[in-house]
Structure 1
């Protein structure tokens, strides 16, 4: 974990790679550049301000909207959604996210590499899974901190898509977040779903990636 004025980074191995979150507009990019060049694996950088030029790194870049949902109730999901409390369901959630986001860097699968059991002990962090006939069909992670909630890794493997899994896991997790505003970053395909759940685009975030 690398904390600097203006950005936060996690430098992992050849599978996890480097992840950087820019936290101030116009941050000095010298150290980010050095970290990217020295990364053991893939590089992913998020700039929620869309104000930092990293084109010199030769990374692919695109924009996705940061979206906000005000505090308020959500309908009940129409399938089984549970909060993860054990290793078996956490591993199933991990597999669903890896498959849903096509994170081939984490294949062959190593249980606990992306979602270690310690994740469930982090204050404000929860993992949810949606199940069809008892089988985990989708998952997401939520974080509550400083009076705000956030969604991450809302993933559905290809074999379960177009069956309402994403909506169900969102609604199931929102049931525990009705008292706080909630944010997420939406892909182009995911945005219509989130808009139907009351999320509104707030600003564009720019992503830079070697993958």
Structure 2
């Protein structure tokens, strides 16, 4: 299972590359670190791979993902080459059919986003992506086509309060950009969006869901039936 989860994450991140993919390096060019980086290191001497990645990703914030799909010793090698660990991100999975039901916030409507630019504008505000990058991010989003489901949580007067993006691949749905606008946090909107993704997955016959969580979000995802199966170490370089 973990192999499929990590492969789905690689495929999604490489999809952000602005141009033909080159190995395991992706560069969207957007000023948001997770959208530029290296998804793994396999079969290559870190001393050779490191300067290649620095050169390819020069001028943009970037991250290096080190998980079970990277060669053993990758994290230690990156540290010795000057990379700095940012955080550890738990990799979590859930059985779609077994996910518990959580209460949903009143007055919030969750629907598929039709306007990609509006959707990106909302998650950019929630996740700290600069305004000037929104239009370029929206153009990259459009290249995913029907492999991506975008859900927006709206308030009665219309603005998007929260977002969730789901990448659909080979019997698996992986979640990204689960975020809530600062004024609307702590109302259960993020949990409701995640639950809505699981419902859409069930309708499509997708049995498993996966995500990478920040440490602070762990209790929310555990409440929704997700369990930790692995972790990533994220480095800046």
1:127 Cα deviation from its structure 2 partner: 1.0
Is 1:200 paired with 2:227?
yes
Is 1:92 paired with 2:111?
no
Superposition TM-score, scaled by structure 2 size: 0.74
Q: Going by fraction, where is strand more abundant, 1 or 2?
A: 1
How far apart, in 1, do the equivalents of 2:87 and 2:168 lie?
27
Say how many residue pairs are matched. Answer: 200
Q: What is residue 12 of structure 2 aligned with on the other side?
A: none
Choose from 22, 33, 46 the match for 2:65: 46
Q: Going by fraction, where is helix more abundant, 1 or 2?
A: 2
Choose from 190, 194, 202 the match for 1:170: 194
Contact 2:30/2:136 (8 A) holds in 1: no
Is 1:9 paired with 2:28?
no
Q: What is residue 22 of structure 1 aligned with on the other side?
A: 40
1:23 Cα deviation from its structure 2 partner: 6.6
How far apart, in 1, do the equivalents of 2:201 and 2:61 lie?
33
Please list the CA deviations of residues 65-120 of structure 1 after superposition, one character each: whole Å capped at 9, or x if unmatched: 100001316548443111112x3xx22321222222223xxx23344322327537
Contact 1:77/1:171 (8 A) holds in 2: no
1:197 Cα deviation from its structure 2 partner: 0.4
**Gapped regions of structure 2 (runs ≥ 5):** 1-16
Change over 3 Å in CA distance of 1:23–1:154 after alignment to 2: farther
**Gapped regions of structure 1 (runs ≥ 5):** none
Aligned ranges 1:181-192 → 2 under 5 Å: 181-192=208-219
